[in-house]
Amino acid sequence: MSSVLVADNATKRYGEVLGLNGFSANLAPGITALIGPNGAGKSTLFRLVIGQLKLDSGSLSVLDRPVDADSAMYREIGYCPENPSVYGWMTPFEFVSYLLRIDGFPRSEAHARATRSLHQVGLTSVSHRPLRGFSKGMRQRVKVAQAMSHDPRMLLLDEPLNGLDPVGRVEMMDLFRQLAAEGRHLLVSSHVLYEVERLTEQVVIIANGRAVAEGAIHQLREAIDAHPHSVFLRTPEPRRLATLLARWDHVTALEFPEPDAVVARTRAPEEFYRSIPELVVNERVPVLEMHSPDDNLEAVFRFLAE
């Protein structure tokens, strides 16, 4: 399977408001992060995939089938919504097994599956406590457990890391990577960009109901390298280094954010990185540290969304 989700000009309207506005994307197998601000259309896309909403125009297919082809395909999709609400009078075990029973599983199998999925998210010891006393992070774990309890081929996880403590976030990301290694496909929405970078390099950036970019993070970075690119250099001689860099035609600006540092803005990052070692050696100007604050998902997202 070359693609697990294909959208072609998918459009969904809420009256005069566009939830999706000609959204087109092609998601590869494995883990893909869906990145966008509130109201960008992430949850609308998820609800279209699981059949809660219907397209107004365009097409959307998942696992090689149109989303409205037949109801049986929904057995192959697990959904963890962003809304933290659960039935407070139930226990995690009751909640997960109840939803499995609604989905048609026999009681004994529903109980076995609930036990297994709750163990996977680290809730075995509290699986028979009422949910009303759970923290937001613990409820997130319960929702992930129910999403994966029927062994779906694809998981839609809408802000699944919200409310989790730092250790819990690491544990959940490890679980997501494990599920992908087992052959499942995950579409994870998140606004915590540095965590997304740790989870996957494959991203779709969505804004105003449109996919404004998709692909590997570094490919997206390369795609906008024609625009000014920042390079941070730490040196005991920032003024002298800046004078030397100012001679390069592709350097458009120089700043001094710290007493021992200079930030250069360049239109040609490849040429900059290729030339800087020669400058350091020939001019004998020490550079103790060099990195690009633009070469990360947050910078790519900020540029493309704006």
**8 Å CB contact between 228 and 253:** yes
Q: Please report the pLDDT score of residue 9 as a whole number.
A: 94
Cα–Cα dist 138/84, whole Å: 10
Indicate if 224-292 has the same CATH topology as 5-216: no
Q: At what angle do helices 92-102 and 136-148 cross, to 10 degrees?
A: 30
Q: Give me 273's structure tokens.
A: 């990185």
Cα–Cα dist 161/288, whole Å: 36
H/E run at residue 94: helix 92-102
Using the structure block, give the residue that is written with the tokens 């062994």: 151
Q: Please report the pLDDT score of residue 233 as a whole number.
A: 92
> Could you tell me the CA-to-CA distances from 270 to 233, 291, 306 in Å, in that order?
16, 13, 24
Cα–Cα dist 298/133, whole Å: 35
Q: Give me 222's structure tokens.
A: 């390369």
Lowest mean pLDDT, pick from 73-77, 147-151, 212-216: 212-216
Is the domain covering 5-216 a CATH 1.10.540.10 domain? no
Instruction: Give CA 90 to chain center in angstroms.
Output: 31
| pLDDT digit string, tens, across residues 146-159 | 999 999 999 999 98
For residue 28, the 8-state DSSP code is P
| pLDDT digit string, tens, across residues 103-143 | 999 999 999 999 999 999 999 999 999 999 998 889 999 99
- Long-range pairs for 165-171: beta carbons < 8 A, 24 or more residues apart: 165/137, 168/122, 168/137, 168/141, 169/195, 171/122
Domain ranges of the chain: 5-216, 224-292
CATH code at 224-292: 3.30.70.980
